[in-house]
Each structure stands twice: as structure tokens, then as C-alpha cells.
């Protein structure tokens, strides 16, 4: 498929329908290991699509209880991690990057010849010198990375839609890795699948998360909100002009039609200003993005994540940082604005 003059390998649900995916994996048992960010959405979508899927999770944990609440039955479709790995022919390794490192010895011993090891992030394999995760040579090693949260993957599936995903094959030991990975991509609810490799997936993912998806966008929100507040604008006005109009009005239109359409369908005053100012913003942020990508590529970002997320007090410190964000005036104003949205007012 041609993307702006560049030809990419893309697989659609028309080319590889669900019926073919089910036939491809008809004799497979898929074990979803981990029930945190991606586990619920991927496992429930697979189950609803008719695949033979089980969940492996630590017993007596909040996520075990969540899995039970979602309908997984202990001893039937919900097992301790080791038993799930033993039962599976495909192990979907969906724990956090830090947890993957700690559980790896358990998973590794159940990767017998012919099985498939599936990731939704290239982190563990790309940074193997730091993670110690080196799959055996006689198993398929594959990746499907939905371009969004597990929550979005599930929500779009229930709406009859799909979330685009990348796919990659790191190791094809059986000669079936391609069929397996595409079938799994269709099964978890992908809209379409585009080809990548493990390294490119993790480099783009870490850059995106720290950049326009979360880090940069929060920084831009905070900067514009502060400038408006410093110049006498109310919290409601500052939040609406910074966040609410973007997320509720403009971004859905950009997603549907593109930024060029957006520029063509706004006021001439907004149009002129947007055209004049987008390049200065690009030029100001380009060095930051270049530095960010370099830190990802050399492994520094990966090591920071491993070091931080492996500490015993990680969650305590995380909650303190999230509390600071949540209690900032910007997001306190946001909470109030969300309550005032018309759909909330009707309830």
C-alpha cells in the first residue's frame, strides 16, 4: 500500500478475514500472560472472536480478581502464570517490561520447540543485553502492537471497529510465523496491520509516548495554560482554549479528514495564524525530539525505565507524581469542565 509515495506491507481484514484467522489457529492454545494494560482487551477480544484463549496471572492479586470479574474462570480459563505457559502453544507475553524481566525464567522453561512467543512491544528483545530476555532458537518470536491502549482496543472492538496495529517477525522457527502473527493481529481486533520490526517498533513507541502522545502534549498544555492564566484568563477559559476545544472538537475532525482539511475549514483568522505559527513550533521542538530519539536509540531511556520500574517503592513514587499532575490547577479545571459537558449534565 502506498503511503505518501512510500510503499508499505499492509494486511487488512478483507485480505485475511476472521474465518481464516480461526482456521490458522484452530489447534492452538493462546495464553495471555498478564492482565494489566493490554491483557484484558486482547484476551477478551480473542475469546469473543472464538479463539481458544486462557489467561495467566498471579493469584491473589488485584489483576487476578479483575480477570475473574471479567468472566475468566479459575482452573478452566484462568491459571497461575506457570501453568498457563505450560498449557499454551502461543504465549502472549503482556506483562510490563519490568515484570517481563523478573518472570522470564519461568516463561523461558516452557518455551518448548514449535511454540510461539508473542509480544506487543519490542522492548524486551531489542534491549536484550539489558533485559536478559533471549528467546530459544526453536520457537517463533512475533509481535502485534495495537496503536492505542488496551481500553481503546476493547472499546473499538465492542463498537464493531478496529484499532490499527503493527506486526513484526523476529524469528520464524516453524515456517508458520507469518500466518500466526497475522491471525493473532486479526483476532485481537486490529483494524489493519502494518509491517515493522522489533527495533523500529520500540524506537517509535518510546519516542511517541514521550512525545506527541503524552509527554510533549502535556508539556504544551501546561505551557499554554500557564501563559493564559498569567495574562488574566480564568481557569475555565484557559482550559477550554487549551484542551477542551482540541480534544472534543478539532482532533476528531483531524482524525476524520486530516490537518489540511482542518486548515481549510476554519476561520480565515485562525487559518492565517495556524499557517504562520506551525513552523516556529516545529523548529522549536525539533531539537527536543532529536535528543529524545537519540536517548531511545542508545538505550538510555530503556535503562531509566528498567531502573525506575524495578524499585520496591516504584508505585508509591508513581502515585505521588500522578497526584501532583492530578491536583494541578490545569487538570482540576479539566475535572470541572468534564462534569459540565452536556452528556454528563443529562445524567
Looking up cell 528498567, which residue turns up?
306
Q: Report H helices in 146-230.
A: 150-158, 177-187, 198-210, 215-230
Residue 115 to residue 107: CA distance in whole angstroms? 12
Q: Report H helices in 6-38.
A: 18-24
Is 233 marked active-site? no
Query: How many CB atoms are closer than 10 A to CB 11?
Result: 20
* DSSP code of residue 143: E
Q: Which residues contact 43 (CB under 8 A, 6 or more apart)?
A: 32, 35, 53, 55, 72, 92
Residue 241 to residue 338: CA distance in whole angstroms? 14
Residue 340 to residue 122: CA distance in whole angstroms? 41
How far apart, in Å, are the Cα atoms of 211 and each of 74, 161, 184, 215, 328? 40, 26, 29, 5, 21
* Catalytic residue (choose from 47, 121, 210, 229): 121
Element holding 275 (H helix, E strand): helix 268-297
Query: How many CB atoms are closer than 10 A to CB 83?
Result: 15
**Cell (9 digits) for 44:** 477478551
Element holding 3 (H helix, E strand): strand 2-3
Catalytic residues: 121
Amino acid at each position: 500500500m502506498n503511503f505518501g509515495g512510500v510503499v508499505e506491507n499492509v494486511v487488512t481484514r478483507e485480505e485475511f478475514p476472521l474465518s481464516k484467522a480461526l482456521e490458522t489457529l484452530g489447534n492452538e492454545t493462546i495464553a495471555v500472560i498478564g492482565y494489566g494494560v493490554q491483557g484484558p482487551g486482547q484476551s477478551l477480544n480473542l475469546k469473543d472472536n472464538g479463539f481458544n484463549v486462557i489467561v495467566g496471572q498471579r493469584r491473589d492479586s488485584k489483576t487476578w480478581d479483575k480477570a475473574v470479574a471479567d468472566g475468566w474462570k479459575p482452573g478452566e480459563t484462568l491459571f497461575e502464570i506457570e501453568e498457563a505457559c505450560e498449557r499454551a502453544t502461543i504465549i502472549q507475553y503482556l506483562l510490563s517490561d519490568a515484570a517481563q524481566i523478573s518472570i522470564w525464567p519461568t516463561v523461558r522453561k516452557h518455551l518448548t520447540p514449535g511454540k510461539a512467543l508473542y509480544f506487543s512491544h519490542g522492548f524486551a528483545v531489542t534491549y536484550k543485553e539489558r533485559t536478559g530476555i533471549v528467546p530459544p532458537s526453536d520457537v517463533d518470536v512475533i509481535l502485534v502492537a495495537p496503536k492505542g491502549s488496551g481500553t481503546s482496543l476493547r472499546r473499538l472492538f465492542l463498537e464493531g471497529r478496529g484499532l490499527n496495529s503493527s506486526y513484526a517477525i523476529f524469528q520464524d522457527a516453524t515456517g508458520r510465523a507469518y500466518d500466526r502473527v497475522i491471525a493473532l493481529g486479526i483476532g485481537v481486533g486490529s483494524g489493519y496491520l502494518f509491517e515493522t520490526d522489533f527495533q523500529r517498533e520500540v524506537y517509535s513507541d518510546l519516542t511517541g509516548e514521550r512525545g506527541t502522545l503524552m509527554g510533549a502534549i502535556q508539556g504544551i498544555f501546561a505551557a499554554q495554560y500557564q501563559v493564559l492564566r498569567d495574562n488574566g484568563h480564568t481557569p475555565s477559559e484557559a482550559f477550554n482554549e487549551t484542551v477542551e476545544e482540541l480534544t472534543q472538537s478539532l482532533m476528531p475532525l483531524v482524525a476524520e479528514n486530516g490537518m489540511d482539511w482542518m486548515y481549510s475549514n476554519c476561520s480565515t483568522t485562525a487559518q492565517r495564524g495556524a499557517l504562520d505559527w506551525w513552523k516556529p513550533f516545529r523548529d522549536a521542538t525539533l531539537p527536543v525530539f532529536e535528543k529524545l530519539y537519540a536517548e531511545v536509540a542508545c538505550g538510555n531511556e530503556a535503562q531509566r525505565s528498567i531502573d525506575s520500574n524495578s524499585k520496591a517503592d516504584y508505585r508509591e513514587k508513581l502515585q505521588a507524581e500522578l497526584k501532583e499532575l492530578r491536583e494541578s490547577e490545569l487538570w482540576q479545571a479539566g475535572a470541572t469542565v468534564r462534569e459540565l459537558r452536556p452528556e454528563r449534565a443529562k445524567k
